[in-house]
Every structure is written in structure tokens, then in C-alpha cells.
């Protein structure tokens, strides 16, 4: 209770890694406040969140058609399911969702049917991986619509994924690696990046976090 009185709208939650975090939530507006309650970073984020709720959040709500695809995406971006994702995953998801929003943003989400989803996926039939990624994001968005009571079903779940017959990315052979190092000399970012990947065995998502 003391926390809530000091910073109204700030509530704690536990993220997917078991860490206690804080979030500002008010009137459908949500913003992350970090882990250290009352810290300088927390206060800075809190003040920005309060300002965002009073200005940007309200302006966006006025410009968004209620019940539209655009409104659903805005709500999903503020949901714990999205906010708990890693930053790299958020960027990946946004890249897919924003293209979908550009084409269908003002359409009512309640009127989306399985045939509509199938038509969207069919547009990407030549790239089955992209079609399947879109299908996954639509499933998440429509599940969120159900949670908001905007829909009673999820038509994306009633579709089938495309069969991906690709063999994936080609793994470089020694000659190809040698040719790369002929072009990208020691000290360059490209040389350093490939060296890290080769000699640490780290996945891309881990390699980008390696320090000096």
C-alpha cells in the first residue's frame, strides 16, 4: 500500500525469469518501470509514463478506431506477454506485425474470418517461412483479442502452417571463411564478429552481448 500511495499506478509483477519488476498501468496505458523501486531510473521512467498517459496515450486512443486491428496491436504491445519478451524478439515481432498493420490497420478485428487469414498467408506462399511467421503472430494477436473479449474465437488457429522444404542457411566452408577474412581485415567490426562466432560457439543472440 505504501508503494501505491507514493507512485500511483505502479504495480509489481514477476517476469518470465522470476525477477520482480514494476509497471505503470492506468486507463489501458502501460509502461515498464524497471526492477529497482524508487531508484533514479525508476522515477525517471515513472514520470515519463505519467506524462505518456496524459498526452501520447490519450492522443493515440483518440486517433485509433476502437476494435480495429490497429487498436488490438497497440494493446498487445502493452501486454505482459509482449513486454516480457527480449528486445531482439520484440524487434522481430514488430517487423512482422507492422507490415500487417499497414495493410489492415483500420479493419475491425471482430470481422476477421479464417478465409481472410488464409488469403493473407497465401500471399506469402512462395516464402513459407514468412507465411508461417505471420500465422504465429496472428495467433498471438487474436488470442489477445479473446482476452480482451473482442472475439470469442481465433480463426488463425484454424489454419494450417505451410510446409517449409528449404534446407536452411548454408554453413560456410573453410575456403569461404578464408575469403571473408581476406576482405575484412583484423580490427574491423565484421572480422571481430565472425571471429567471436567461430571461436566462442555462441549463438547470435548471445554473441551480441559479449563485452570486451
pLDDT digits (tens, 9 = 90+) for 84-103: 888 888 888 999 999 999 99
Residue 136, exposed/middle/buried by CB under 10 A (0-12, 13-18, 19+)? middle
| Same domain, residue pair 9 and 74 | no
What 3-state DSSP class applies to 11?
Answer: strand
Strand 10-14 and strand 29-34: the pairing is: unpaired
pLDDT at 155: 96
The domain in which residue 137 lies consists of 69-158
pTM over 0.75: no
Tally of structural domains, the chain: 3
| Same domain, residue pair 104 and 38 | no
| Same domain, residue pair 94 and 150 | yes
Domain assignment present for 163: no
pLDDT at 190: 87
DSSP state of 173: P
| Same domain, residue pair 58 and 12 | yes
Cβ contacts of residue 133 below 8 Å, gap of 6+?
96
Give the Å distances, CA to CA, from 160 to 117, 118, 119, 132, 207: 10, 9, 12, 9, 34
pLDDT digits (tens, 9 = 90+) for 54-84: 545 444 555 678 889 999 999 999 898 898 8
| Same domain, residue pair 130 and 153 | yes
| Same domain, residue pair 152 and 73 | yes
Kindly report the CATH number assigned to the domain that includes residue 153.
Answer: 1.10.150
Domain assignment present for 164: no
Amino acid at each position: 500500500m505504501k508503494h501505491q500511495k507514493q507512485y500511483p499506478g505502479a504495480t509489481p509483477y514477476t517476469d518470465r525469469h522470476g525477477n520482480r519488476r514494476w509497471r505503470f498501468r492506468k486507463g489501458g496505458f502501460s509502461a515498464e518501470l524497471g526492477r529497482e523501486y524508487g531508484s533514479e531510473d525508476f522515477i525517471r521512467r515513472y514520470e515519463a509514463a505519467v506524462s505518456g498517459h496524459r498526452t501520447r496515450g490519450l492522443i493515440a486512443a483518440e486517433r485509433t478506431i476502437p476494435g480495429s486491428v490497429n487498436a488490438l496491436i497497440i494493446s498487445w504491445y502493452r501486454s505482459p506477454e509482449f513486454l516480457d519478451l527480449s528486445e531482439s524478439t520484440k524487434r522481430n515481432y514488430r517487423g512482422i506485425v507492422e507490415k500487417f498493420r499497414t495493410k489492415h490497420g483500420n479493419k475491425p478485428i471482430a470481422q476477421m474470418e479464417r478465409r481472410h487469414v488464409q488469403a493473407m498467408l497465401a500471399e506469402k506462399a512462395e516464402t513459407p517461412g514468412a507465411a508461417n511467421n505471420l500465422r504465429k503472430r496472428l495467433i498471438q494477436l487474436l488470442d489477445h483479442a479473446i482476452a480482451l473479449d473482442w472475439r470469442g474465437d481465433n480463426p488463425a488457429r484454424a489454419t494450417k502452417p505451410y510446409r517449409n522444404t528449404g534446407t536452411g542457411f548454408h554453413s560456410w566452408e573453410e575456403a569461404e571463411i578464408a575469403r571473408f577474412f581476406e576482405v575484412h581485415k583484423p580490427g574491423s567490426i565484421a572480422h571481430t564478429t565472425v571471429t567471436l562466432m567461430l571461436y566462442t560457439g555462441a549463438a547470435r543472440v548471445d554473441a551480441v552481448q559479449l563485452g570486451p
